[in-house]
């Protein structure tokens, strides 16, 4: 299916307007992006999944073409807001049960949604999944320099600085994308689309608001370590880029404590953006998992 045939739609959800890309038919799959991303990070995966499934790839609040609600990060951009958005999106689109495919920020949203609305989920598929078991390791001596951006995004001047020119925006996102990908040229063909997206009014601050809203939870992990939580029982598949420099593959060691029905493996040849960097392998892994889930749904 040519990209031009994908449906771009909008709906009201949780009091805001959410943009989505939709393709295909069948058992529904909702794809949640991370940062520095928007729906287009799934462009190499949508067609493969849409051959068998109804695929919905929304822009999270603050990102892409979705609304950027007024108010501070804690007033409008918390994990609870994102969970409410996803529930509202599912209601608006008539999704009784569905699978979530998620990455990075989207993986936080998916886990919180699974804990709040387990009955609506048939499965969870994560690429490079941040989860509570990482605990204090975010600030290990060998790693702490990698998370500088999480503090930078909370500075009141961050969006103005990065958005001060198209060149500055390109420099910032080209660095993040090339540094976190295994192949530093992985995003070369798409970098101008990324710059176009983040130069849209409100999109830089909208994405940065995630970091301000989640700061307290991140500090609690670093201060207190990995919490003890009841595991998520939804069938879960995790594929982790074996060269991810920001979410280290070694950190997957405690996944089974937080997901009771877990299928885990590394994804060779990929960094942080596994589904984008290795789409053929990622698509095959997703379709295999979805086939098992759809049979049991």
Q: What is the residue-wise DSSP string for 234-280?
A: S-EEEEEETT-SSS-GGGGGGHHHHBSSEEEEEETT--S-HHHHSHH
- Cα gap 110→133, rounded to integer Å: 16
Strand partners, 237: 125, 263
- Is residue 103 annotated as a catalytic residue, yes or no? no
Copy the structure tokens of residue 54.
Answer: 């109804």
Distance CA 125, CA 274 (A): 12
Helices (H), 100-182: 105-116, 148-152, 158-162, 166-180
State yes or no: is 272 an active-site residue: yes
Yes or no: say if 99 and 125 are a contact pair by the CB < 8 Å rule: yes
Residue 51 is given by DSSP the state T
Lookup result for tokens 């493969």: 48
Closest to 40 in 3D by CA, of 23, 62, 58: 58
- Single out the catalytic residue among 47, 59, 85, 104: 104
Catalytic-labelled residue, pool 38, 108, 211, 258: 211
My answer on whether omega of the bond before 36 falls inside 30° of 0, hence cis, is yes
Neighbours of 296 (CB within 10 A): 8
DSSP category for residue 77:
-
The residues that are catalytic are 104, 211, 272
């Amino acid at each position: 299916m040519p990209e031009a045939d994908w449906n771009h739609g909008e709906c009201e959800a949780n009091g805001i307007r959410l943009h989505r890309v939709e393709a295909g038919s069948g058992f529904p799959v909702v794809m949640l992006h991370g940062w520095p991303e928007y729906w287009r990070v799934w462009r190499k995966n949508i067609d493969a999944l849409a051959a068998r499934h109804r695929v919905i790839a929304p822009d999270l609040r603050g990102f892409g073409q979705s609304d950027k609600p007024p108010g501070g990060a804690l007033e409008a951009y918390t994990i609870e807001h994102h969970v409410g958005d996803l529930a509202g999106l599912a209601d608006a689109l008539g999704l009784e049960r569905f699978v979530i495919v998620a990455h990075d920020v989207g993986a936080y949203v998916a886990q919180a949604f699974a804990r709040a609305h387990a009955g609506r989920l048939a499965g969870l598929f994560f690429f490079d999944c941040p989860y509570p078991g990482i605990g204090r390791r975010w600030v290990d001596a060998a790693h702490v320099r990698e998370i500088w951006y999480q503090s930078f995004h909370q500075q009141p001047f961050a969006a103005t600085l990065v958005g001060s020119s198209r060149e500055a925006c390109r420099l910032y996102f080209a660095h993040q994308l090339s540094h976190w990908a295994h192949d530093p040229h992985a995003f070369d063909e798409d970098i101008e689309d990324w710059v176009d997206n983040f130069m849209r009014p409100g999109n830089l601050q909208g994405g940065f608001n995630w970091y301000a809203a989640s700061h307290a939870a991140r500090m609690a992990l670093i201060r207190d370590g990995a919490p003890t939580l009841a595991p998520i029982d939804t069938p879960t598949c995790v594929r982790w880029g074996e060269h991810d420099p920001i979410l280290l593959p070694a950190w997957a060691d405690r996944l089974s404590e937080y997901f009771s029905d877990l299928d885990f493996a590394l994804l060779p040849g990929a960094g942080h953006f596994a589904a984008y960097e290795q789409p053929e392998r990622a698509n095959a892994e997703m379709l295999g998992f979805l086939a098992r889930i759809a049979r049991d749904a």
